[in-house]
Amino acid sequence: MKKNRWKIILILISIAGTLWYLYPTYKDINYQKKLSQLRGEDSLKFVQENLDDIQKVRQKRIKLGLDLQGGMYVSLEVDIVKMLDNLAKNKDETFRQILAEVKKEALTSQEPVTSILLRKFQERGIRLSRYYGDIRQSDAEIISELEEQAEDAIDRALEVIRNRVDKYGVAEPSIQKQGNNRIVVELPGVKNREEVRQLLQSTAVLEFKLLKPADIAIKVMQSIDNYLAGKGVADTVDTTNVVTQKQDTTKTIAEELGADTSAGLSEFEKFKKEHPFFAYVRVDEGTGIGFVMARDKKMVDFILSRPDVKNLIPPDFEFVWSAKPFTAQDGNQYYNLLAVKKDPEITGKVITEARATIDPDNNSPIVIMRMNSEGAREWARITGANINKHIAIILDGTAYSWPVVRTKIVGGSSQIEGLDSPEEARLLEVVLKAGALPAPLEIIEERNVGPSLGEDSIQKGLKSAYLAFIIIALFMIVYYLTGGIVADLALVLNIAFILAVLAGFNATLTLPGIAGIILTIGVAVDANVLIYERIREELAIGRTLRSAIDEGYSKAFSAIFDSNVTTFLTALILYNFGSGPIQGFALTLMIGIIANLFSAVFITKVIYDIVADKYPTVVKFG
């Protein structure tokens, strides 16, 4: 008992940890059940009330793969052929012919498109500078520039897609860059496939929109607030006064919310009744820009999308969100809500260049933006007429920056300052380019799983898992008597460990993953079978129970270890090869192997150490 003290502590800790990691999944299932019973506004209210907890358990639960919950998997590549077409100048018949050949070859070849292009040009003895870059540039220079463009294009596309998917409101989307020119998007639960394709492939729209003056913005928000509170529309109260007062109240309320006292909550409830809009949106008086806590964004969206509320918003007026939340001093994440003029001053098509760089004067990150001559003329007029006003840079309806116009900008070269970090500058560069140089994306792989198929798969998967478990567990008991019970206990722990590790590492459970767990049920008992058969042999040659157990464990170990390593190795190779679902399988298999060594060998040995000493008559191996 004494020598096993640390082992027992380790086992208890691991079991406690398992329960800790599995609890959010259990809670999440309960929330989902509850939510499926509620409808419309009720469910939104329920979500609002329990938002923190729901989000917390959501993040920590076991995630289901697309194949189980249904949804869409799309792999996109920048259509480099199309990009080459867009970038070329003085296009003629020869060029079109070459490009058609490149397109045909690129379809099946592994060779980079740019090098196919170069080859085709060289075959014909034409220099690339005829269509691209500068007349003085060599082919190699132009090719490397084109390659750079292609790589740039993928970053632009990534930002555009991220922005749109965020706006589209898919829960737990996954958007990843894969390799140099591929983007993999996973959207669980999406039903309208055509819409998503549009979303992913349509050209980005970059617009410059003027912010509405603060007093007008506040007035509109005030009227929304009044209307929601049931006070009727358009009163002529001294708005500025009300807003200042409100600001103070919201501030204290936010503080009290942070402290989370029930008194604060009830005061908040009271405030919410009187000012249903300002309870969520805090307004900066000077600029008329709203601040909304990240968790309230959905609620505000919901309010603003109500048809009766929409009627209160003037026709030339529009609310847009900031693209990324920022962390305020109170530690909460906030989005900005901007009131802008609906019609854009100018669109991003006129931008010829955007570059993130460092201001040599004060070492702060800036972005330099250049426009073509037509754009420059317009830009001079716009900036001249709006000095000291904010102009928002809006990509696909989300604001990335809203710099203040300092002077009239003549000549088309503008400088955007006041950025917090080089990353922010780089992001702005990407955004500014996105409107001017579209990155044509091509869907190269798409998989859709209907929710009913996913549901079906889960049901069948669970059913076979239960059945497999029952049969194996019963067999072990019949064959090895009490030894079987111990082995079964190890099996239960093994499965629980796999699930807990999946939850703990934020991994995804896929259908092949379930197959992996089922397989583990079959394989996991192998370790115990090896040990028990060995113990039976040792008992047969006349050893005592105690020494037979020790011998059985120690002699069986090398075989157990080697056979687990080989399986682990193949699972590891499979993990590196596979895509989503297959990786899920390989992962559960790997976790299962490690969990198996721990539960079937380590834990059962401790159990025998204890039981064989105290109750030797109970210990039987059939």
Partner 1 sequence: MRFIGKTNIKFIEKRKIWYLVSLIVILVGLISIIFRGIPLGIDFLGGTEVIVRFEKPVAIGDVRSAIAQVGLAKSEIKIYGTHNEILIRTSEQAEGTKMGEMILSALQSNFPDNKITILNEEKVGPRIGAELRRKAFYTVLFSLIAMLIYIGLRFKPIYGLGAVAALFHDVLVTLGFCSIFSTVSYLNIEMNQSLLAAFLTLVGLSVNDTVVVFDRIRENLKLHKALDFISIVNKSINETLSRTIITSGTVIVVLLILLFVGSEVTRGFAFALTIGIITGTYSSIYIASAIVVDFTLARQRKAEKEKLLKKQPVSAK
Q: What 3-state class would DSSP assign to 337?
A: strand
Site for partner 1 in 580-599 (CB under 8 A): 581-582, 585-586, 589
Calpha distance 426→433 (Å, rounded): 11
- DSSP letter, residue 42: H
Which residues neighbour 340 within 8 Å (Cβ) at sequence distance 6 or greater?
A: 209, 210, 211, 212, 317, 318, 319, 320, 392, 394, 399
Q: Which of 124, 445, 544, 554 binds partner 1 (CB under 8 A)?
A: 445
Q: Which of 366, 369, 501, 518 binds partner 1 (CB under 8 A)?
A: 518
Q: Which of 86, 578, 598, 602 binds partner 1 (CB under 8 A)?
A: 578
CB of 507 to partner 1, least distance (A): 16
Report if residue 485 touches partner 1, rule: CB under 8 A: no
Report if residue 537 touches partner 1, rule: CB under 8 A: yes
Report if residue 424 touches partner 1, rule: CB under 8 A: no
CB of 202 to partner 1, least distance (A): 12
Report if residue 571 touches partner 1, rule: CB under 8 A: yes
CB of 468 to partner 1, least distance (A): 4
Q: Which of 456, 506, 614, 615 binds partner 1 (CB under 8 A)?
A: 456
Calpha distance 64→500 (Å, rounded): 14
Report if residue 521 touches partner 1, rule: CB under 8 A: yes
CB of 406 to partner 1, least distance (A): 45
Q: Which of 404, 468, 485, 606 binds partner 1 (CB under 8 A)?
A: 468
Which tokens sit at 232?
Answer: 């009727």
Calpha distance 361→75 (Å, rounded): 44
Site for partner 1 in 76-135 (CB under 8 A): 107-108, 110
Please, what sign has the CA dihedral across residues 121, 122, 124, 125? positive
**Sole window of 261-269, 368-376, 446-454, 606-614 interacting with partner 1 (rule: CB under 8 A):** 446-454
Q: Judge whether 192 and 383 are in contact, CB under 8 Å.
A: no
Report if residue 478 touches partner 1, rule: CB under 8 A: yes
540-546: Cβ within 8 A, 24+ apart: 545/612, 545/616, 545/619, 546/612, 546/613, 546/616
Please, what sign has the CA dihedral across residues 559, 560, 561, 562? positive
- Which of 406, 342, 355, 351 is closest to 373 using CA atoms? 351
Site for partner 1 in 360-379 (CB under 8 A): none
Give the CA distances from residue 607 to residues 7, 305, 322, 469, 584, in Å, rounded to whole numbers and listed in that order: 10, 61, 58, 21, 32
Site for partner 1 in 25-54 (CB under 8 A): none
Report if residue 356 touches partner 1, rule: CB under 8 A: no
Which residues neighbour 296 within 8 Å (Cβ) at sequence distance 6 or greater?
A: 280, 281
Report if residue 515 touches partner 1, rule: CB under 8 A: yes
CB of 135 to partner 1, least distance (A): 34
Calpha distance 465→205 (Å, rounded): 50
**Sole window of 215-223, 259-267, 364-372, 471-479 interacting with partner 1 (rule: CB under 8 A):** 471-479
Which residue lies nearer to partner 1 by CB, 165 or 449? 449
Q: What 3-state class would DSSP assign to 317?
A: strand
Report if residue 449 touches partner 1, rule: CB under 8 A: yes
Report if residue 20 touches partner 1, rule: CB under 8 A: no
Report if residue 509 touches partner 1, rule: CB under 8 A: no
Q: Which of 467, 492, 610, 618 binds partner 1 (CB under 8 A)?
A: 467
Calpha distance 147→138 (Å, rounded): 14
Report if residue 474 touches partner 1, rule: CB under 8 A: no
Which residue lies nearer to partner 1 by CB, 410 or 467? 467
Q: Judge whether 339 and 287 are in contact, CB under 8 Å.
A: no
Report if residue 346 touches partner 1, rule: CB under 8 A: no
Calpha distance 313→222 (Å, rounded): 11
Which residue lies nearer to partner 1 by CB, 346 or 515? 515
Q: x/- contact string, 139-178, with partner 1 (CB under 8 A)?
A: ----------------------------------------
CB of 518 to partner 1, least distance (A): 6
Chain-centroid distance of CA 230 in Å reads 39
Q: What 3-state class would DSSP assign to 169?
A: coil
Report if residue 541 touches partner 1, rule: CB under 8 A: no
Report if residue 287 touches partner 1, rule: CB under 8 A: no
CB of 453 to partner 1, least distance (A): 4
User: For every residue of 359-406, which 3-state class applies, written as one string?
Assistant: CCCCCCEEEEEEECHHHHHHHHHHHHHCCCCEEEEEECCEEEECCECC
Which residue lies nearer to partner 1 by CB, 314 or 522? 522
Q: Which of 563, 606, 611, 612 binds partner 1 (CB under 8 A)?
A: 563
Report, in angstroms and rounded to the nearest whole number, the Rg of the chain calculated over CA atoms.
32
Q: Which of 333, 347, 464, 482 binds partner 1 (CB under 8 A)?
A: 464
Q: Which of 23, 568, 598, 602 binds partner 1 (CB under 8 A)?
A: 568
Calpha distance 124→130 (Å, rounded): 13
Which residue lies nearer to partner 1 by CB, 19 or 471? 471
**Sole window of 247-255, 308-316, 328-336, 570-578 interacting with partner 1 (rule: CB under 8 A):** 570-578
Ramachandran angles phi, psi of 78, nearest 5°: -65, 125
Q: Judge whether 526 and 592 are in contact, CB under 8 Å.
A: no
Report if residue 193 touches partner 1, rule: CB under 8 A: yes
Secondary element (H or E) of residue 352? strand 351-358
CB of 548 to partner 1, least distance (A): 15
CB of 574 to partner 1, least distance (A): 5
- Which of 333, 222, 229 is closest to 272 using CA atoms? 229
Report if residue 512 touches partner 1, rule: CB under 8 A: yes
**Sole window of 57-65, 168-176, 222-230, 454-462 interacting with partner 1 (rule: CB under 8 A):** 454-462
Please, where are the H alpha helices in 107-203?
113-124, 139-168, 193-201
CB of 385 to partner 1, least distance (A): 43
